[in-house]
Amino acid sequence: MAFKVVLATKNPHKVEEILAILGDIPGIEWLTFRDVPFSDVEEVGETLEENAILKATAVARETGLPALAEDTGLEVEALGGAPGVRSARFAGAGKDYRANNEKLLRLLEGVRNRRARFRTVAVLALPDGRTWKAEGVLEGEIAGAPRGEHGFGYDPLFIPEGETRTLAEMPPEEKNEISHRRRALEAMRPILHELSSGKLRL
């Protein structure tokens, strides 16, 4: 019998990446917002960890199923770690990825230190309130202008350490091999195997 696990996000780009990374775990049937309706969760946490826990626990409680959530932030050294937890809303509520990228480039105009990192915190929550957390980090720097047609968010501006290409210049499968999201989700894999094998009691 397959265990059903809900992906606690309504971002189709994130759903696609999570399924590409964890979709091969035997015994788990992944459900998305298209399969199981759940309410929007307001991301009012002050950290990535708080937001991931908020989303996972709320969706697990509402659906009665295990839920996997993640929150990701871009932390730019010269900006004191901003945009960080506010990465998705950096340019203001309702603004798109392009507006966020444009604001970031404006703030870094003339700045020589372009060091940055992507950080993802993933949380698995059970309906009874138990949670597990994992983190993934990808170091790199901010490009001078957007490059590439793949990915989403800040991918056109982020050059991983040891690379000359931005994440958006990499094919999706190549990005998913090295990404911050993959590192967090792979760290979550052992507990998901325990769930699918029945070692972890619901």
Q: Which residues are catalytic?
A: 71
Q: Where are the alpha helices (DSSP H) in 23-168?
A: 48-63, 97-107
CA 127 – CA 148 distance, rounded (Å): 40
Rounded to 10 deg, the angle between the 12-22 and 180-197 helix axes is: 60
CA 108 – CA 137 distance, rounded (Å): 22
6 contacts 36 by C-beta, under 8 angstroms? yes
CA 87 – CA 150 distance, rounded (Å): 19
Torsion, Cα of 73, 12, 185, 172 (10° steps): -90
Q: Which two tokens stand for residue 17?
A: 């990446």
> Which residues, in sequence order, are CB contacts of 191 under 8 Å at separation 6+?
124, 132, 200
